[in-house]
Amino acid sequence: MKNKIGNYLMIAAVITAGIVVLKSCKPKDMASAVSGNAAAQVYVAPGKYDEFYNFVSGGFSGQLNVYGIPSGRLFRVIPVFSVDPEKSWGYSEETKPMLNTSHGFVPWDDLHHLALSETDGMQDGRWLFANGNNTPRIARIDLKTFRTNEIIEIPNSAGNHSSPFITENSEYVVAGTRFSIPMDNTNGDVPINTYKENFRGTVSFIAVDKTVGTMSIAFQILLPGVNFDLARAGKGVSHGWMFFSCYNSERANTLLEVNASKNDKDFIIAINWKKAEDYFKAGKGKKQNVSYAHNIYSESTHSATSTIEKEVTVLDSKDCPDMVYFIPCPKSPHGCDTDPTGEYIVGSGKLAAIIPVFSFTKMKKAIADKNFDGDYQGIPVLKYDAVLHGEVKKPGLGPLHTEFDAKGYAYTSMFVSSEIVKWRLSDLAVVDRVPTYYSVGHLSVPGGPTKKPWGKYLIAYNKITKDRYLPTGPELCQSAQMYDISGEKMKLILDFPTNGEPHYAEAIPAELISKNSTKIFKIEDNMNPYVTKGEKMAKVERKGNEVHVYMTCIRSHFVPDNIEGVKMGDVVYFHVTNLEQDWDVPHGFAVKGANNAELLIMPGETQTLAWKPERSGMFPFYCTDFCSALHQEMQGYIRVSAAGSNIPISFSTGTNIEDATAGTK
């Protein structure tokens, strides 16, 4: 019987694959693009695990998404900068402080880039860092719990785009501002056309605690008022350096599409961060009064705290010689990627017809020889030819991003010509190209940004989906495409839809993370001030017009489940503790008319829902997460009386039963 079902499944898979191939014949070249065994390569049998986790940024959703590779199956949406009613992120009292900023509660952001923590230039599977573009923030996600444990706001920044990028031992995560702006400690209320006089850019070096990962802004570097785009840390030979791409060397403040595209070359900015560290330690930095939020979620108290920090140290690049150099790079560079050896820095000018590859060794020599081409705003500009390893000729149109494998090849996405180009680092020869559908943005190779890429797959995250999937109205699903890169030729083997909008992504071998995954929170270690450790401790307390319900849940009942004595004008806090100590048994909690969301409480955790009844009457509550055969019985009532009522607080489970004779009267 089992074998028969297996056979049917295989036949169905083959037929489906056949249909996919047939249907896809419509666009040109597709028949040759998908090869015969693609279905087998991406098929992960029921009950089997994927080989890699793929962490994919969620763009304007503000969240990030976790997929399996090679299957392309979605495992989880991790809420980061946006509220998420499914997980009560930003709705429960415990998580609300995570979205606090110096601008108040900001429940949305635009999450573009991810960086996995590294040890010795290799992914170590501990933390994942993500940027919020709009209200500049960096988040740290703990990969034991797949939850956002920390968010730090970045002062002196706007459009936090060139971040987060990480150094090879996670010493620093960097965050560069896209928009140059008047600094936070000056009056920003100035005419916009005083840009050249008043607007400046900064890049921030955020130190990461080696043991627990806690972030702190070590220092910022003040730079000319250009736009910072992307970055990469040096590694191996270039460890200690950070490279940022920038555009708008014209320093335009309007119609950048035209006005920031005039110069033949913009820059890659090379920063010697070891030198910056020395200047910082020597007291060269100036302390500035600023205001930024630092939010930390504790897995011990199961709640977040938000602190407003008031100071940041700024190193002015003009006061710190030998710390910053500009490398000319053609036509508004976007991607700025360092190869696994750290010797080559690949700049991708969005409007350039070539891809320049710079040599770190040559850069060091040019610096030593003072082989400069003048300066830009007081910062030495290195001679292009002195730093150049070579140019990749005729790669395609609109180069954006480059990832690497371990065999000496680079893969560059070509946005305008919708293709991926494979080229050799040693002689810069183009060796293969494949079409993407359509307008490819970021690329991801497992371990691609590290010293030792795992290779095997290349995933493209496309900007346009068009005819690839069943239409869903004006907005279509976002599209990823996966290529087998184990051979000489890249082979398209899978399309998979993603949540909007994918920018950068990283993939990591599954076992580096899965073996450490948290299964439960130990109830004994729960330090939430409102925890209820056992049903005996359940209670309801009135404090003025606040009513605190200390509630437990376990399959399949709440204690208490009958609550009376709440009055209009009260705010009811349901502090719900999940007493379960078994993996994958969360309970939910929802009460009728609540103006926020449900709670979803993990085993051993306490979460709080604040509820202000807007009318008197009877309000049912129930468990929202199917927990057992008697899940549908997991419910209760809370009675709300008029403001002047003299009904006392009372609560119970299993005892508040009508007198047996009452119904017969």
Partner 1 sequence: MKKILLLSAIVAFMYACSSNTEKKEPTESGPSANDLMKDDTVHYAPDAKGIGKFTHVDINPALNAKMAGDGNGIYDLKCSACHKLTKERLVGPGWEGVTARRKPEWIMNFATNTDEMIDKDAQAQAMLELCMVRMPNQSLSDDDARAVYEFMRKNDGVK
- Residue numbers at the binding site for partner 1 (CB under 8 A): 520, 522-524, 533-537, 552, 554-557, 559, 579-585, 625-631, 654
The distance of closest approach from Cβ of residue 87 to partner 1 in the complex, given in angstroms and rounded to an integer, is 17
Q: Output the smallest distance, CB 53 to partner 1, in A.
A: 19
Rounded to whole angstroms, the Cα distance separating 496 from 481 reads 6
Return the amino acid letter for 657. I
**Nearest approach, Cβ of residue 143 and partner 1 (Å):** 22
Distance CA 233, CA 243 (A): 6
Query: Which residue, 183 or 579, has its beta carbon nearer to partner 1?
Result: 579
Q: Write down the least CB distance from residue 625 to partner 1, Å.
A: 8
CB 520 to partner 1: min, Å: 6
Contacts of 554 (CB under 8 A, 6+ apart): 578, 579, 580, 587
Q: DSSP letter for 563, please.
A: E
Which of 370/522 has CB closer to partner 1? 522
| Cα–Cα dist 477/499, whole Å | 7
The least CB distance from residue 1 to partner 1, in Å, is 14
Distance, in Å, from the CA atom of 603 to the CA atom of 585, rounded to the nearest integer, reads: 6
Q: Which is nearer to partner 1, 124 or 535 (CB)?
A: 535
588 by Cβ neighbours in 10 Å (0-12 / 13-18 / 19+) ranks as buried
Pair 245, 230: CB distance under 8 Å: yes
Give Cβ neighbours of residue 651 (< 8 Å, ≥ 6 apart): 538, 539, 540, 549, 560, 562, 563, 564
| Nearest residue (CB) to partner 1, 81 versus 622 | 622
Which residue, among 571, 564, 551, 643, has the nearest Cα to 613 in the 3D structure? 571
Alpha carbon separation from 175 to 109, 201, 330, 634 (Å, rounded): 15, 11, 23, 47
Dist CA 180 CA 189 (whole Å): 14
Instruction: CB nearer to partner 1: give 12 or 630.
Output: 630
CB of 639: closest distance to partner 1 in angstroms?
24
Phi-psi region of 234 (alpha: psi -120 to 50; beta: other; left: phi over 0): beta
Other beta carbons within 10 angstroms of residue 665's beta carbon come to 5
CB of 573 to partner 1, least distance (A): 21
Q: Which is nearer to partner 1, 408 or 534 (CB)?
A: 534
Query: How far is residue 160's CA from residue 292's CA, in Å, rounded to a whole number?
Result: 14
* Contact by Cβ (8 Å): 27, 41: no
As a whole number of angstroms, the distance between CA 447 and CA 459 comes to 12
Minimum Å gap between C-beta 605 and partner 1 is: 14
- Among residues 49 and 105, whose Cβ is nearest to partner 1? 49
Q: Which is nearer to partner 1, 101 or 532 (CB)?
A: 532
Distance CA 560, CA 633 (A): 14
Q: Which is nearer to partner 1, 264 or 584 (CB)?
A: 584
Compute the least distance from the CB of residue 609 to partner 1, in Å: 20
Cα(418)–Cα(481) distance, integer angstroms: 12
Residue 541's Cβ-side half-sphere holds a number of Cα atoms within 13 Å equal to 9
Q: Nearer Cβ to partner 1, position 141 or 634?
A: 634
Tokens of 407: 């065999």
The values of phi and psi at residue 426, to 5°, are -70, -50
Is the Cβ of residue 441 or residue 588 nearer to partner 1 in the bound state? 588
Which of 292, 295, 317 has its CA nearest to residue 306? 295
| Closer residue to partner 1 in complex, CB, 313/562 | 562
Tell the smallest beta-carbon distance from residue 534 to partner 1 (Å). 4
Closest CB to partner 1 among 250 and 625? 625
Rounded to whole angstroms, the Cα distance separating 327 from 348 reads 13
Residue in the structure block whose two tokens are 């991801």: 444
Q: Report the C-alpha gap between 657 and 655 in whole angstroms.
A: 6
- For partner 1, give the closer residue by CB, 80 or 559: 559
Q: Supply the minimum distance, in Å, between the C-beta of residue 636 and partner 1.
A: 14
Residue 276 has φ and ψ, to the nearest 5°, of -60, -40
Contacts of 566 (CB under 8 A, 6+ apart): 547, 572, 613, 638, 639, 640, 641, 649
- Asked if 542 and 563 count as a contact pair (C-beta separation under 8 A), the reply is no
Cβ closer to partner 1: 524 or 614? 524
Q: Which residue has the tokens 């490279």?
A: 243
* Residue 75 CB partners (closer than 8 Å, separation 6+): 53, 66, 67, 68
Shortest CB 629 distance to partner 1, Å: 5
- At 23, give phi and psi (nearest 5°): -65, -35
Beta-strand pair 147-153/286-298? antiparallel
Give min distance, CB of 572 to partner 1, in A: 22
DSSP H or E segment with residue 176: strand 172-176
Q: In the bound complex, what is the minimum distance in angstroms from residue 545's beta carbon to partner 1?
A: 31
- Do the Cβ atoms of 619 and 593 come closer than 8 Å? yes
Q: How far is the CB of 564 from partner 1 (least distance, A)?
A: 22
Asked if residue 295 lies in contact with residue 97, where contact means CB atoms within 8 angstroms, the answer is yes
* Cβ nearer to partner 1, comparing 196 with 631: 631
- Closest CB to partner 1 among residues 313, 656: 656
Least distance CB 581 / partner 1 (angstroms): 4
